[in-house]
Structures are given as structure tokens and as C-alpha cells.
Amino acid sequence: MTYTNTRVTLASRPVGLPHPDNLAFDVVDIPPLVEGQILIKNHFISIEPAMRGWMNSSKSYIPPIALGEVFRAMGAGQVVESRHPAFAVGDYVTGDLKVQQFAVHDGDSAQDPTNPGTYLLKVDTTLASLETHLATLGLPGLTAYFGLLGIGQPRAGETVVVSGAAGAVGSVVGSIAKLKGCRVIGLVGNQEKIDYCVQKLGFDACLNYKDPYLRAALRTACPRGIDVYFDNAGGDLLDWALERLALRGRVVLCGAISQYNTTGAVKGPANYLSLLINRGRMEGLVVLDSIAQFPTATREMASWLREGHLVTPKVQVEKGIDNFLATLLKLFSGQSFGKLLLTP
Ligand SMILES: NC(=O)c1ccc[n+]([C@@H]2O[C@H](COP(=O)([O-])OP(=O)(O)OC[C@H]3O[C@@H](n4cnc5c(N)ncnc54)[C@H](OP(=O)(O)O)[C@@H]3O)[C@@H](O)[C@H]2O)c1
């Protein structure tokens, strides 16, 4: 059978918010598989803030997407043809399937967990839906798990504040922190997300970071200071969290979405001396560093989900590969809610 594949490639590097001219679409026929290859139909593309960083040419934790290259993206799909003994037609997998309708992988490198670019993880859809394998049981959930438990190290009774709290990573951070017996305060951009974090996720409080009196609201919500700040936002929010840091507080530098489209200098924290005064710690996180421990962490989170200790966050699914850019932009305008996926 011949498969036609629509793909999105990077045409130019954006300045500020990405623009349609930065992307190109092409349609190609997939040649017959050679021995050792597998063909995957991409069911869901994971839309992530990091995609904006991959469009830049600057040095990061992984190489930038090259001009003309198919856009990098985590995805979840199903094997539709296989010429490799380790993969059977019908297997569900997650991995870097890219922004395209079909992906061809080499079956040997697909089994190499040291290479995130080619590694495919077989997923059990009887355990959780394919969407959940890209959300709580995928990279966002694992980011929350390793960032909060590994770097934040929260103890029962401590106050954990998380920005991007209604998002893919933030909602799992808050849920795990509740599981560990912490007081959890979320920071989000609108009332609907505040209600969701408090009523559905069980946060103790949630504040609108656009509130001009946010600093005062943080003081009231965290009277004994912030023991763990899980930072998805950067910018002013990081600064104001540092201002409220408790003695021996920990800051998990997970992301800085407020800064990803900036055309000027990145806004760093002025209140960094709070780390000195409070003997605090601020540490960066790259979830891929923990790839060897992914299976153990996924099993533990799957058992939390099964036992009802962890709330499955919202999943927002948009349709059509043509809508890739419009969907990506939703992350930066606050129009995404929970884990954002695209069906190509
Ligand atoms: N270090 C790692 O290994 C790693 C791995 C995965 C993700 N990350 C990072 O984790 C963060 C969250 O990723 P995600 O996939 O879970 O995205 P997400 O939170 O699901 O989506 C982005 C959300 O960020 C909020 N936002 C947008 N602009 C903002 C601003 N200026 N200030 C504060 N909040 C803003 C919006 O919600 P509101 O309506 O609330 O504004 C938006 O819905 C990102 O910074 C990402 O880069 C890091």
C-alpha cells in the first residue's frame, strides 16, 4: 500500500511569535519499507512550549531544528507496517514522530533509550488512553515527577507554588504535591483555570497572575513562605516567588514560557539574593536526563492514576495538520487548557 504523508518543515527562524512564513508544508509518498523499518500512523502530535525554542538557532539542551527539517514533535501513533521483529502491526508507540501524518523509523534505533530522537516507547492502551500516554504518563507528567520529586523534594505540610498550574506539566505537579501532603497554590491566567485547579485538582488555592495585587495575594496565600516553587513561567513570577521563598526553599527551573517569544533581553530574577538569605536552592531540569528511569516513574504514576490518587488532567485536542501553527500559538496566549494535542 502507498501512503501519502503531509509534513511540516521549518522554513525560517522566527523573531518573536512564530509566523506562517516560518513553516512550509509538503506532501510526499512514502517509499516501500526496507528490512528493519517500521511505519507509524501519527494519531496525536504533542504541542509543547519547547517547540518555540527549537525554532531558534541558539545552543540549547538539544540541537535546534535545521532549516528544511521536518518539525520535531513528540507523538503517539500505531504501527501500520513492520519489517522489524520487535514491532508488530497494531502496536501503539510514543516518541519523536514529528509534525507529519506518518513516521518511518529504524526498528533497531527505535529500541535505543539513550537516543531520544529515535527511541520509541511501546505503550499499553489498556492501562491508559493514548492521549494520557502523552500527558500524565508522557513527557509532561514525567517532567512534573522528576522536577518536583527529584529537585523540589517536597515534604508533607510544605507549601508548593506552581505556575502554568492548569497546564500539562503544572497540573501534574500540583496533583503529585497534593499526594505528598503539601499545601498547593497554583498560578494561572483566568478564572476558569482557577476554578479547575481548586475544584477538580484539589489545590488549596489558585491565583490569577494577571492580578495587579498578585504579590500581596501570594503573601496571604503563603504566610510561612514558599518551600517549593515549580517555575514554568519565568519573568516576574519567578522574581515574586523568590521574594516569598521560605528558609531552605527550593526553586525548580522547569520552563520560562513568558520569555520564549521575547525579542529583547530575557528577564532574569532581581531577587536572587533571597537564595543566599534563605539558604535556598534553584536548579534547572531537563527531563530527558532521566530517560533511563522513565519506565519506573511511568509505572508508579500509572498506579497512582489507577488508585485514584492522581487526577487525569484535561486534554485539549485540535484537528488538522494545517492548524499546527494556530495550535502552537494557543500555548502563548493562554488559550490552551491542560495537555494540548493535534490530530494530523
Ligand atoms: N525542563 C523540561 O524538561 C521541560 C519539559 C517539558 C516542559 N517544560 C516547560 O514546562 C512549562 C509548561 O509546559 P506545558 O507543556 O505544561 O505547557 P502548558 O502549561 O500546558 O501550556 C502553556 C500555558 O502557559 C501559560 N502561559 C502562557 N504565557 C504565560 C505567561 N506569560 N506567564 C505565565 N503563564 C503563561 C498559559 O496558561 P495561562 O492561561 O495560565 O496563562 C498556557 O496555557 C513550559 O515552560 C515548558 O517549556 C520543561
Task: Tell me which of 52, 232, 335, 341 to substitute to probe ligand 1's pocket, judged by most ligand atoms within 8 Å of the beta carbon.
Answer: 232
The residues facing 3 across adjacent strands are 30
Residue nearest to atom 19 of ligand 1 (CA): 167
What is the pTM (predicted TM-score) of this model?
Answer: 0.97
254 lines ligand 1 (CB under 6 A): yes
Q: Whose CA is nearest to atom 46 of ligand 1?
A: 255
**In terms of DSSP bridges, do strands 92-96 and 120-122 run parallel, antiparallel, or are they unpaired?**
antiparallel
Residues 6+ apart with CB under 8 A from 25: 6, 7, 8, 9, 321, 322
Phi/psi-derived region of residue 267, left when phi > 0, alpha when psi is between -120 and 50, beta in every other case:
beta
Q: 29-38, 172-181, 228-237, 287-296: which has the minimum mean pLDDT?
A: 287-296
Q: Report the pLDDT averaged over residues 217-222.
A: 97
What are the pLDDT digits (tens) for 222-250? 999 999 999 999 999 999 999 999 999 99
pLDDT digits (tens, 9 = 90+) for 136-152: 999 999 999 999 999 99
Instruction: Please give the sequence-ordered ranges of beta strands (E in DSSP) within the chain, or none if there are none.
Output: 3-10, 23-30, 37-46, 74-82, 92-96, 102-106, 120-122, 159-163, 183-188, 205-208, 226-231, 245-253, 281-284, 315-319, 339-343
11: helix, coil or strand?
Answer: coil
Question: Which protein residue has the closest C-alpha to ligand 1 atom 29?
Answer: 258
Would you say residue 330 has pLDDT above 90?
yes
- DSSP assignment of 180-217: TT-EEEEEESSHHHHHIIIIIS--SEEEETT-TTHHHH
With a 6 Å cutoff on the Cβ, whether 316 touches ligand 1 is no
User: What is the DSSP code (8-state) at residue 147?
Assistant: I
What is the pLDDT at residue 61? 87
Mutate to test the pocket of ligand 1, among 169, 171, 316 (most ligand atoms within 8 A of CB): 169
Residue 145 CA to residue 303 CA, distance in Å, equals 14
* Cα(38) to centroid(ligand 1), Å: 33
How many angstroms separate the alpha carbon of residue 141 from the centre of ligand 1?
13
Q: Does 238 sit in the ligand 1 pocket, CB within 6 Å?
A: no
Of 318, 313, 29, nearest in space to 178 by CA: 313
CA distance linking residue 121 with residue 79, whole number of Å: 12
pLDDT over threshold 90, residue 60: no
Confidence tier at 289 by pLDDT (50, 70, 90): very high
> How far apart are alpha carbons 242 and 93 in whole angstroms?
40
Residues in the chain: 344
Residue 22 to residue 51: CA distance in whole angstroms = 13
* pLDDT score of 23 more than 90: yes
32 CA distance to ligand 1 centroid (A)? 39
Residue ranges of domains in the chain, CATH in brackets:
3-134+314-343 (3.90.180.10), 139-287 (3.40.50.720)
**What are the CA-CA distances from residue 191 to residues 18, 197, 258, 340 (Å)?**
27, 10, 19, 19
> Distance between CA 307 and CA 160 in Å, rounded?
23
Helix (H, G, I), strand (E, B) or coil at 130: helix
Quote the pLDDT of residue 238: 98
